[in-house]
A and B are shown apart, each in its own frame.
Chain A
Amino acid sequence: MTEEGPPLSGEPAVELNGVSLRYDTADTILSDLDIRLKPGTFTFLTGPSGAGKSSLLKLLYLAHAPSEGEVRLFGQRTADLSRKQLSALRRRIGVVFQDFRLLEHLTAFENVALPLRVSGEKPEQYTDEVVDLIRWVGLGARINAFPQALSGGEQQRLAIARALINKPDLLIADEPTGNVDPDMARRIFRLFIELNRRLNTTVIIATHDMHLIREFNSPVLKLQDGLLFADSAYEQA
């Protein structure tokens, strides 16, 4: 990965101002959040189950709109964007879902190539790149396998490869190492760090893994009961 990342500017890559989220019938999931992340930052998001981590990530990868407040990504107020502009913005975001969301009828290669395919690129333009990335995540021998033939860990690595293939400006990962062994977890985190440093990609990782948080020593956002109660630099848990 040698490409230049997004230009550094004073504009936050991620900015939430007074954001709250409520679903139709349930209680408030997120309350009055204010977050600013500069481009190129590497941030952990942690908190107990049900704290609202996944909901916050959904706001960031544009799967939900906030009930109150505003979300700005790369300086753009998402509420002001047309559907076409939202699609273009999503192409700058790579997401590793907790449940992987791999398409069962597509092979490993096709799943990883999906973001490029929907961008209109031709297979001859991306085949080598996709193959290299699949090999890098250790699935070179399974390149033509369908997701149901892969183990949980293999599926997770495939989901990570899909999130990275576009060299996103913002990478969002929801428990990306939940199904892999510690060695693979470290390897994946090192990849995220490499992406962050080489391409200046802004990375947000939701995780419960306090060992990895300690090991990689990055700022931590803590969520509890929908409230952000610490957005300081790294603190010892």
Chain B
Amino acid sequence: MQKMNPLLPASDAREAALFFVVAALCFLAVLATLTARGTYTAAKAWTAQVEGEMTVRISDTDRRGAEEAATLIAGMPGVDAAHVLTEEELNELLAPSFGPGGIPDGIPLPLLIAVDASGDALTLAAAINDQLSAEGITGHAEAHSAYAAEVRKALATLRAAAIGMVLLLTMTAISVIAFATHAALLARKDIVDVLHLAGAEDRFIARLFERRFWLLGLKAGAAGSVAALAVTAMIVFSAQSSSAPSELLPKLSLDAGDLIILAVAPVAGALAARIAARITVGRSLRSSL
């Protein structure tokens, strides 16, 4: 038995244009999601790192006094390690300001103690300040987490913007599909009428359009997703091969989560297309024969 032709004729030029629009929307949505996720992940890793770090600046003493202060701090509860920064470490720290030539001679360098903590950094900084005062050492501990709060705030804004953008693109895709479905129904009115008069239920006719737009959404979504993967891979490759200092760029990569997004996006796009087609066809048919 040969395969039966579909009850709705094969796609026409309108659907080719729709394919492009849905693919482009899916591409933008995936790119927005991946970019937001990549930035969020990189920034979160950075904040997690600085959460447990603090710097103690020691004044009115020499390096030996600073070493004693570091030993004192290292013995405090919640402190994992503490050491006085060497000149090389200071040079590396200030390289973005002074360049690879290092710190010019004659500039007085502060004595800094780097502290790695596992407890609450802000509470620990206050405890270190108290301890230093009690020991008669002039110094001030500053938790890096104070700066991380601003980064967290920016991340929350970034996440909200990304979610908003994906929602907007999804709604746009649904609207475009709904419009296209309505146009397809009008264009196929003769067929829909014959199906109705042959006894087809609304649900049967709606399924024909749902299936058509589900497949279109799936194929267009896959095309958009593959394009987004290519662009993201290009950005990652470009970032990784850049000569810019790595500290200034987030660590971009494609992980399993990103691949899941790339795989799920076409299905989500197709689902949105199917829902849009079902609602549009249902509404239109209720006002027909």
Contacts and interface: CB of A to CB of B under 8 A. Distances in A.
Which of B1, B193, B197 has its CB near the most chain A CB atoms (within 10 A)? B197
A113 B191 CA distance: 15
Given A84-B201, A88-B199, A106 B5 contact: yes
B253 to A, nearest CB: 49
Contacts of B191: 103
A118 interface: yes
A64 to B, nearest CB: 8
Interface in B256-289: 285-286, 289
Contacts of A84: 201-202
B201 A114 contact: no
Given A62-B289, A63-B289, A90-B199, A114 B194 contact: yes
A121 to B, nearest CB: 12
Which of B7, B197, B199 has its CB near the most chain A CB atoms (within 10 A)? B199
B4 A90 contact: no
A170 B126 CA distance: 93
A90 B194 contact: no
Contact of A87 (B1, B4, B194, B201): B201
B194 to A, nearest CB: 5
B226 to A, nearest CB: 31
Interface string A9-44: 000000000000000000000000000000000000
Contact of B198 (A83, A107, A115): A115
A119 interface: yes
B62 interface: no
A192 interface: no
Which of A87, A105, A124 has its CB near the most chain B CB atoms (within 10 A)? A87
B44 interface: no
Contacts of B195: 114, 118
B5 A118 contact: no
Contact of B197 (A63, A113, A119): A63
Nearest to B201: A87
B200 interface: yes
B197 A83 contact: no
A171 interface: no
Given A63-B289, A101-B194, 12 more contacts: A63-B197, A83-B201, A83-B286, A84-B202, A87-B199, A87-B202, A105-B5, A105-B10, A107-B5, A117-B7, A118-B195, A118-B199
Interface of B: 1, 4-5, 7, 9-10, 190-191, 193-202, 204, 285-286, 289
